[in-house]
Structure 1
Amino acid sequence: MKQSKYLKWFGVASTVGMLLILLGGALVTKTDSGMGCGRHWPGCNGQLIPDVITPEVLIEFSHRIVTGTVGILILVLAIWSWRALGHIRETKFLSIMAVFFLILQALIGAAQVLWGQGDFILALHFGISLISFAAVLLLTLLIFEIDRKFDTENIQIGSHLKWHTIGVTIYSYIVVYTGALVRHTNSELVCLDWPFCKNDAIGLPTQFNEWVQMGHRFAAALIFIWILYIAIHAIRNYKNQRVFYWGWIIALILVSSQVITGMTVVLTRLNLYLALLHSLFITLLFGLLTYMILLVSRSRITKE
């Protein structure tokens, strides 16, 4: 029991740490601090610890320290969970995913510093970190399930909800990628109005950056409509399945918050705090959707 208690806290610390990595990476990108340490990695400006601290150096170097520290936590969590919960079918897979994608995102970040990467490759960085976060989150939830705190036993869903859950989760990753592409191609303020690029001249985008920005807005609108539809379906049909009922209500709240912060980021001309909230909401939404996938994989599927 004591081991379970310590493992829980370790899981929570690792999940929060992974969230800090994601937000730290977003902060690096949004403040253009990626070259704060120059073309040096893992050192900073030719030193192990930089002696000249500018805001860019502070942000980039802090992000590296957090990534390294949390990386150790996640490695320990993966090994500990493997040994303590290896009998649960998802444990080993999630442990491997958490470590593999954390290392992969670190390598992509290092490659960007040392050699530079194209915008389309850099846009993958946030998404890869997101997969690692989801794996760590699900590992932590598996640890808490030991005490049966969650009502996840003997659940059943209709095939309609199953396929919508799988579809919207996969699609959410596309939305994440388009959002990252907006940042890395510097397309945030190419459209200064909302919801259309130019409210006084509604029409198709006229150049690449406008296509990137409006493509992301279209993708975000579609996921909002899709999750709204699923939430209405869950509210009508799953009142007795609390984990799905409340899960999709929370998903609707998160995707609504995502849309609102996306709008206000544009209208406030890239307010940093709102931009970080924008990243936070999509991270939490993706984590929740992957948990729904986990539940779907365990559920007994019925016809609707």
Structure 2
Amino acid sequence: MNPSRRHWLAGASALAAGARLGGAGLALAAAAPARAATVVLRDDRGAEHRFDATPRRIVSMMPSLTEMVGALGAADRLVGVDRYSNWPAAVQRLPRLGGLDDARLEAIVALQPDVVLASLSARVLDRLDALGLRVLRLRSDGLADVQRSLDTLARLLGDAEAGGRLWRQLEQALAAAAQRVPPGLRGRTVYFELGGGPYAAGSSSFVGELLARLGLSNIVPPALGPFPKLNPEFIVRARPEIVMGLAREQAALAARPGWGALPALRDGRRCGFSSADYELLTRPGPWLGDAADVIARCLEGLAR
């Protein structure tokens, strides 16, 4: 992970404007110039949005979308964010507008945004459509969704090429992290636990696709969806060789019925991530190069 971002997430000074993303050195894009040309965008709900001017007042209701706006150099256009957005540093001073299930609709309307950025699952925000606000809904399950969201936001912000530039550098970061994975761990089966279980990052999720890019084999098949709720017996039967999740939850894994015999726990092949790194790994945003670096670093440690 980028050292300056880790330092900032720990409560230290804000990330400098020239900070760079992890291993591949992904620089933040320059602020996009205003443009008068009409832009027509179709979001992942299938709704078409027409913008006759570049939005100057943006509300983001998803941390990864907030980070994309920041990485595209337009943090100064954000006027409100969800409760979990914490990068770039400037968003700490913005109004907090709730979350997926308890969005503060009146507060959002009062900010008079040109556009509201949201996920497909934020159904409470459907009411904003009836009030005449434009809600751009973007999917965030897999890596292709992340790439498409970057492209869509880059067009929205007036620099259509910026999304592609960011994505190409993220791809370089992912490739560099993959090269660091010890040969002896390639092909090993892995279980990535979310929030203390029983949810997992499946093969079709952006986390699962990161793991695949690093040469690991997910025990959760694509058919179960990106982030399925699992029966604990499923993990016992799958016998993962590596277990990943929050560090503070790792000590209790062996106490679960039947888990003590799992190859991952028996052989000490666990990746316990700090809260900051876990946050990085579970946000489908512009820090995916750093996320891959975090996983590769853990795998290097397991091979020693």
TM-score normalised by length of structure 2: 0.27
TM-score normalised by length of structure 1: 0.27
Higher RCO (Cα < 8 Å, 6 or more apart)? 1
More strand by share: 2
